[in-house]
């Protein structure tokens, strides 16, 4: 028979770096938008995702609601996932790009904690240590006045906005971790296109309702903002595609470690295009969070390899 063509070594890691770059550029463009609320940006992102996923649902004949026993999980996956996106976009708009990106990298740590609580997965002393590292990193970035005093430098705008952005980023991270736990619970019984479909539809409905309640729904006045909205949608979609491709051809551990390039790109783009130098507090917080997330990823990766070897025996 014909030999199967060998996969290109490192292609999955390249896809991961490319995905991180696209997500980072989309975040930069979000910072550049002047007159569009973060919820409206999220609505446009949901529209792009629906347009991409709809042909896939039709092609794979998955239906639009999913299996009856899984619909409640799909609903919460869509609700929590879209909430995480909206809160993250808000954090990007009101606080430094690198700060918000670093906080989101504590997601693997919270995923382990929630999986221990709801899925009864093992939670060791190492997981607790990584959790404490992540919390330390977030505290260094937030710099609450009762610990660091009232004269805080190196933030964008007022400290009130910085604190709001930090709370939004942390809530976004916990929501994203909750979606991972739900996806683990659902497993492979639901097609991933259907999962993204719930994410986009529920997110769009929630965004539209929120915009009308806040009276913030309007088309961007400037042509530049409209172009940036389209680019954010395309870049976010491209980032998701390349990340999905990476996870299909590479183990989750190396992909999770390589995703730390998100933080590197965020720092570079913030310095080059936003003229905002990160403080040493932010750098220290970034090191703590990246160390905790990388440690969690490496530990999970080693556990999966060990389990695979035991199954072979």
pLDDT at 1: 45
Query: How many angstroms separate the first and last alpha carbons of the chain?
Result: 29
Place of tokens 């991961």: 16
Residue 171's pLDDT is 93
pLDDT of residue 236: 82
Residues sharing a CB contact under 8 Å with residue 28, sequence separation 6 or more, in sequence order: 97, 269, 273, 274
pLDDT for residue 138? 85
Residue spans of the chain under pLDDT 50:
1-6
Secondary structure of residue 254 in the 3-state scheme: helix
Residues 6 or more apart whose CB falls under 8 angstroms from that of 176 comprise 80, 81, 84, 104, 107
* Alpha helices in the chain, H assignment, sequence order: 11-32, 38-60, 71-94, 97-104, 107-118, 125-142, 145-148, 159-186, 192-214, 223-249, 252-258, 261-273, 280-312
For position 21, what pLDDT does the model report?
93
What is the pLDDT at residue 25? 93
Phi, psi of 219 (to 5 degrees): -75, 145
Q: Residues of 122-149 as b/e, b for ≥16 C-beta within 10 angstroms? A: eeeeebeebbebbbbbbbbbbbeeeeee
Instruction: For the chain, give every domain's residue range.
Output: 11-312
Kindly give the interhelix angle for 125-142 and 280-312, rounded to the nearest 10 degrees. Answer: 160
């Amino acid at each position: 028979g014909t030999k199967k063509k060998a996969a290109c070594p490192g292609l999955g890691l390249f896809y991961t770096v490319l995905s991180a770059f696209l997500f980072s550029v989309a975040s930069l463009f979000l910072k550049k938008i002047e007159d569009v609320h973060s919820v409206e940006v999220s609505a446009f992102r949901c529209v792009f995702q629906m347009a991409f996923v709809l042909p896939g649902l039709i092609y794979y004949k998955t239906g639009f609601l999913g299996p009856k026993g899984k619909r409640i999980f799909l609903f919460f996956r869509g609700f929590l996932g879209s909430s995480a996106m909206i809160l993250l976009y808000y954090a990007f708009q009101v606080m430094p790009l690198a700060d918000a990106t670093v906080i989101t990298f504590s997601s693997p740590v919270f995923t382990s904690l929630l999986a221990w609580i709801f899925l009864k997965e093992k939670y060791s002393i190492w997981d607790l240590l990584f959790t404490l590292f992540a919390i330390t990193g977030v505290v260094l970035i937030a710099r609450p006045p009762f610990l660091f005093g009232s004269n805080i430098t190196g933030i964008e705008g007022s400290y009130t906005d910085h604190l709001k952005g930090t709370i939004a980023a942390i809530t976004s991270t916990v929501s994203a971790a909750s979606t991972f736990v739900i996806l683990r619970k659902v497993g492979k019984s639901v097609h991933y296109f259907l999962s993204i479909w719930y994410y986009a539809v529920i997110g769009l409905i929630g965004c539209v309702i929120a915009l009308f309640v806040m009276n913030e729904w309007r088309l961007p006045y400037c042509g530049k903002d409209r172009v940036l909205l389209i680019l954010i949608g395309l870049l976010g979609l491209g980032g998701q595609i390349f990340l999905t491709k990476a996870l299909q051809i590479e183990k989750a551990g190396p992909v999770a470690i390589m995703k730390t390039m998100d933080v590197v790109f965020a720092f570079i783009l913030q310095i080059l295009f936003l003229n905002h130098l990160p403080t040493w507090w932010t750098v220290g917080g970034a090191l703590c969070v990246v160390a905790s997330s990388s440690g969690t990823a490496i530990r999970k990766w080693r556990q999966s390899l060990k389990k695979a070897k035991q199954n072979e025996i």
